[in-house]
Amino acid sequence: MKSGDEIIMTHKILIFAADMAYRALDQAGLLHAHYSPNTVIFRIPCATLIRPDLIVYALKNGFDAVFVASSGPDCPFLGEKCVSIVSKRIEKAYELLDKEGIERERLVVSGVCSTCVETLVNTLERIENFLQSRG
Amino acid sequence: MRERVGVYVCHCGGNISDYVDVKKVVEAVKDLPNVAVARDFIFMCSDAGQDLIKEDIKNLNLDGVVVASCSPHLHEKTFRDAAALAGLNPYLVEHVCIREHCSWVHSDDPEAATQKAIWIVKSAIAKVSLADELQPIRLEMKPEAIVVGGGIAGMRCAIDLAKAGIKVHLIEKKPFLGGRAAQIFKLYPSGKTGSDLVKELVDELKRYPNIHVYTNAEIVEASGALGDFKVKIVVKPRYVKEGVSKEEIRRAVECCPVEVLDEFNYGLTNRKAIYVRESSYPEEAVIDMDHCIKCNECGIADFEQKEETYELRGSMIILATGAKPYEPKEGEFSYGIYDHVITLPVFDRLLAVCDGKLEYEGKEIKDIAFIYCVGSRTEEHEYCSRYCCVATLNAALGALEKFGKLRVYHIYRDIRAYGKYETYYEKVGEEGMLFIKYDPEDPPVVERKGDKLIVKVRDLLTGGEELEVPVDLVVLSVGMVVEEAEIFNMLRVPFSRDGFLQEVHPKLKPVETAIGGVLIAGTCQFPKDTVETTASASAAVGRAETYLVKGYAELEPFIAEVDPEKCDGCSVCVEECPAGAIRIENGKAVINEALCKGCGACGALCPTEAINLKGYKYEQFRAMIDILKEA
């Protein structure tokens, strides 16, 4: 659904924000940090939930990049275990991306703790730079 | 499929609407096929805002609600409760954030912020359209809490919790309770000494057998979550035999041949290697092993004592770890260069230990200059510590009262003697003390001339006149900085820009941190005086009691569920589940709801997508992606 005077943005980044990363996004707001507005945030409890095919689905249906912002080792559900399980998911997603001919750079994963505002901002800047380089 | 969704976009009084065109957001979604109504409102969290939702649920027969406002960590529960009061299942409310995640971070680009808000709201509509009715899960809470820090905040917390029948573990790293407040010469407004206040708290604390005090204790591990925190501590030995009488302790201290500078008095006096703290707790001696020569002249030493490790459990944790005085840099107002430039906390102890006449480093003090705002409102520490103005005025009055005939100069930037403490400011003037206002761009300079210190300052009150103020003592009114503690990182508690621990919201959740079940009390949150410290401690306990006295907490119902129609019993989910919460029964996966943590890991690799996390179904995510495809 597109309304007449909608603003056209050049690209869209989907952020899957796990519990701690979501809090970091809150913290970024409190600190009035700035990052790319070409972002949509989907709140999830833990990044281990993400189906690799869901990432491909997003990239084939309008999103230019997916940022899986996991809670890293601070995950309130799985702690340290979260990191290796998320890596497994991402590996699987890369395989699917390769099959579909989608650049791996369009999927970025990072552990973001509740205070990791800098990680968040820097990662988004990196994604933004990549997308801009692709035009 | 929800067919009648109500959408509510909040202005947050301008916090959102100054950057996000909220009318445009409403316009962009109001004609979506399953949206029954879309509105914007000045404050959705206000009673009027909530009423708007409740009325629409009843009058328009809404079957789903989207609220776009602040972070769901602040008001998700508010809106869910409002919906429940109007008869809608609370989990059919989707709260999304267009303030912290949008207006505040994209204030430099209102158009883009508006577009992002539209995306966020549309995705929420898609999500709620496929939402199910859910029921919360009940979590039992044992009436047991852990308080970290044995200063006045921690002691107040322990006492208030114990009064409510809650078992408390009070952990203090120093050998005695009392913290820094014990060092204050004269408290305002009560006029008592800091140690008087500590003694009152100790007397009260001793009445409650359900308070377990661990002094000399170091926290080595902290983990867990609301309802079940685990804190491992190592208690260092006191090296003193157990069960010795007060008289034996007194004699032991007298006999000890080792004298060292007493840190409690900032080295203004000495103490023995074996010592006690009057008016504190425990009423036992401790041996300072850094200085003890193991002569055992005291006769009560036990050098065989070993460290002891305890694993404490609590349903909640209150952090009351305090703050410390700002330590001026070498040369800052000549601190560290001239002996007679000291900080306010040292001056406080000087007032306490001097008798008859005020002396420092062998010199009688007749003139004092207080320099305000040292380490506050600077590039390094932008905040105002606030308590220090009144504390300085009060210390000056205390000095005059105890020693009389002092010439006192208050060299200040601004005086913030707020509330009823204005009378202290007035009294200082009435006593003939002089105020000199300095410009922070041109701060005072402290030099030595003969046996006097000279404070050179341009006085803004007399049109910038250059003054040279000769004094015997310069007292730097220093602010507070947070006292760091290992447990902050162990629990991952967020910090504010000023380095103190951060509450979720200054008005809505003033004593709660982003980590569920971890509360804050006292000056670890921001600089406070003793009155505010005590009040915040009681506030934290009040919040803790809402869980601990009730005996349970209601948790979100977001756990895994299996669609038996789709499940083929392949057991991939059993392998993926990190909690061991899934088993295969009669060829189908079955969830143990008590064990499921709600991470959703089980569903990620299911070949038939038979397993989903309640509230976060994969079909919802696809719908959220689909709705934004063209946007």
| Residue B568, domain member (yes or no) | yes
The CA-atom distances, in angstroms, between B286 and each of B20, B241, B497 are: 62, 10, 38
Distance from CA of B264 to the nearest CA of A (A): 35
The answer to whether residue A3 sits within a structural domain is: no
B384 and B407 assigned to the same domain: yes
In this complex, do A32 and B107 lie within 8 Å of one another by their Cβ atoms?
yes
Coil, strand or helix at B396: helix
- pLDDT of B240 strictly over 60: yes
Dist. CA A28–CA B21, nearest whole Å: 21
Q: What is the pLDDT of residue B631?
A: 65
Asked whether residue A5 is domain-assigned, the answer is no
B149-207 pLDDT per residue, tens: 999 999 999 999 999 999 999 999 999 999 999 999 999 999 999 999 999 999 999 99
B275 has pLDDT over 50: yes
B102: nearest Cα among A64, A35, A113, A21: A35
Q: What is the pLDDT of residue B470?
A: 98
Burial (CB count <10 Å: 0-12, 13-18, 19+), residue B36: middle
For CA atoms B278, B279, B283, B287, the dihedral sign is negative
Is the pLDDT at B390 greater than 70? The verdict is yes
The predicted model gives B549-555 an average pLDDT of 88
Beta strand segments in B75-136, E: 93-97
How distant is the Cα of B326 from the closest Cα of chain A, in angstroms?
24
Cβ of residue B500 closer than 8 Å to a chain A Cβ = no
Q: Supply the DSSP symbol for B151.
A: S
Q: What is the structure's pLDDT at A7? A: 54
Q: What is the domain-level CATH number for residue B595? A: 3.30.70.20
Question: Do B440 and B399 belong together in one domain?
Answer: yes
Closest CA relative to residue B610, chosen from B558, B582, B574, B573: B573
Residue from the list A6, A27, A42 with its beta carbon closest to the beta carbon of B28: A6
Say if residues B394 and B191 touch (Cβ distance below 8 Å): no
From the list B352, B350, B348, the residue with the least C-alpha distance to B365 is B350
Q: Tell me, yes or no, whether B224 and B314 share the same domain.
A: yes
Would you say residue A57 lies in a domain?
Answer: yes
Identify the CATH number of the domain in which residue A116 sits. 3.40.50
**Which of A37, A52, A77 has its CB closest to that of B599?**
A77
Domain co-membership, B503 together with B443: no
Do B475 and B491 sit in the same domain of this protein? no
What mean pLDDT value characterizes chain B? Answer: 95
pLDDT digits (tens, 9 = 90+) for B344-389: 999 999 999 999 999 999 999 999 999 999 999 999 999 999 999 9
Question: Does the beta carbon of B24 lie under 8 angstroms from any beta carbon of chain A?
Answer: yes
Residues B505 and B407 in one domain: no
Q: According to the model, what pLDDT value does residue A2 have?
A: 39
Contact B613 A27 (CB under 8 A): no
**What total of structural domains would you count in chain B?**
4
Interface size A-B, in CB pairs within 8 Å, comes to 165
Asked if the structure places residue B249 within a domain, the reply is no
Amino acid B508: pLDDT:
72
If you average pLDDT over residues B63-74, what whole number do you get? 97
- Alpha helices (runs of H) in B560-616, residue ranges in sequence order: 572-576
Residues facing B455 on adjacent strands: B446, B469
Separation of alpha carbons B319 and B608, rounded Å:
46
Does B597 touch chain A if contact means CB atoms closer than 8 Å?
yes
Q: How far is CA B16 from the centre of its chain?
A: 27
pLDDT of residue B114: 97
pLDDT band at B70 (very low <50, low <70, confident <90, very high): very high
Residue B277 counted as domain residue: no
CA distance A80 to chain B (A): 11
Span B228-240, average pLDDT: 96
Q: What is the mean pLDDT of residues A80-93?
A: 93
Number of domains chain A is built from: 1
Nearest chain B residue to A63, by CA? B629
**Which residues on adjacent β-strands are paired with residue B409?**
B369, B434
pLDDT of residue B593: 78
Q: Is residue A55 part of a domain?
A: yes
Kindly identify which residue of chain A lies nearest to residue B514, measuring between CA atoms. Answer: A23
As a residue count, chain A comes to 135
Q: Please tell me whether residues B499 and B476 are part of one structural domain.
A: no
Q: What is the pLDDT of residue B139?
A: 84
Q: How far apart are CA B486 and CA B515, in angstroms?
A: 16
Mean pLDDT for B320-347 is 98
Q: Residue B403's domain is classified under what CATH number?
A: 3.50.50.60
Which letter does DSSP use for residue B556 in this model?
P
In this complex, do B604 and A51 lie within 8 Å of one another by their Cβ atoms?
Answer: yes
CB B590 within 8 A of CB B582: yes
User: Which whole number is the average pLDDT over B117-129?
Assistant: 98
Last residue of a domain, one of B75, B105, B134: B134
CA B78 from chain centre, in angstroms, equals 23
Nearest to B577 by CA among A75, A124, A85, A14: A85
Q: Is the distance from CB of A92 to CB of A85 less than 8 angstroms?
A: no
Structure tokens at B404: 């009389």
B382 CB neighbour count, 10 Å cutoff: 10
Q: How far apart are CA A75 and CA A80, in angstroms?
A: 7
Whether B275 is covered by a domain: the verdict is no
Q: Which domain holds residue B605?
A: 560-613
By CB atoms closer than 10 A (0-12, 13-18, 19+), residue B147 is: buried
Task: Give the list of residues 6+ apart from residue B547 with CB closer than 8 angstroms, or none.
Answer: B141, B226, B315, B316, B517, B553
pLDDT tens-digit series, residues B482-494: 999 999 988 878 7
Phi, psi of B267 (to 5 degrees): 75, 10
Q: Do B618 and A3 touch (CB under 8 A)?
A: no
Q: Which two tokens stand for residue B107?
A: 């204030």
Nearest chain B residue to A48 by CA distance is: B601
Q: What percent of chain B has pLDDT over 90?
A: 90
What one-character-per-residue DSSP string does B217-250 give? Answer: EEEEEEEEETTEEEEEEEEPP--B-TT--HHHHH
**Among B475, B520, B478, B476, CA closest to B495:** B520
**Residue A6 resides in a domain:** no
Are B122 and B28 in a shared domain? yes
CATH number of the domain residue B114 falls in: 3.40.50
Q: Is residue B254 part of a domain?
A: no
Which domain, by its residues, includes A25? 13-133
User: Is B524 in contact with B322 (CB distance < 8 Å)?
Assistant: yes
Q: What is the pLDDT of residue B514?
A: 74
- Lowest mean pLDDT, pick from A31-40, A69-78, B274-283, B598-607: A69-78
Is A3 a residue whose pLDDT tops 70? no
Is residue B244 within 8 angstroms of chain A, CB to CB?
A: no
- Token pair, residue A32, equals 């009035």
Check whether residue B157 and residue B202 sit in a common domain.
Answer: yes
Asked if residue B274 is part of any domain, the answer here is no
In a domain, A79, yes or no: yes
Amino acid at B294: K
**DSSP letter, residue A79:** T
pLDDT for position B602 = 96
For all residues of chain A together, what is the average pLDDT?
91
Identify the helix (H) or strand (E) that includes residue B35. Answer: strand B35-41
Looking at per-residue pLDDT, the higher value among B509 and B483 belongs to: B483
Tokens of A17: 């924000």
Asked if residue B286 belongs to a domain, the reply is: no
B384-409 average pLDDT score = 95
Residue A92 lies inside a defined structural domain of this protein: yes
In a domain, B625, yes or no: no
Where residue B86 falls among pLDDT bands split at 50, 70, 90? very high
Which one of B530, B552, B574 terminates a domain? Answer: B552
* Domain termination residue (choose one: B481, B505, B522): B481
**Tens-digit pLDDT profile for residues B8-66:** 999 999 999 999 999 999 999 999 999 999 999 999 999 999 999 999 999 999 999 99
Is the ipTM, as predicted for this complex, more than 0.85? Answer: yes
Q: Where residue A4 falls among pLDDT bands split at 50, 70, 90?
A: very low
- Pair (B386, B507) in one structural domain: no
Nearest CA in chain A to B558: A45
Same domain, B369 and B379: yes
Q: Are B32 and B130 within one domain?
A: yes
For B32, the closest of A1, A20, A31 (CB atoms) is A1
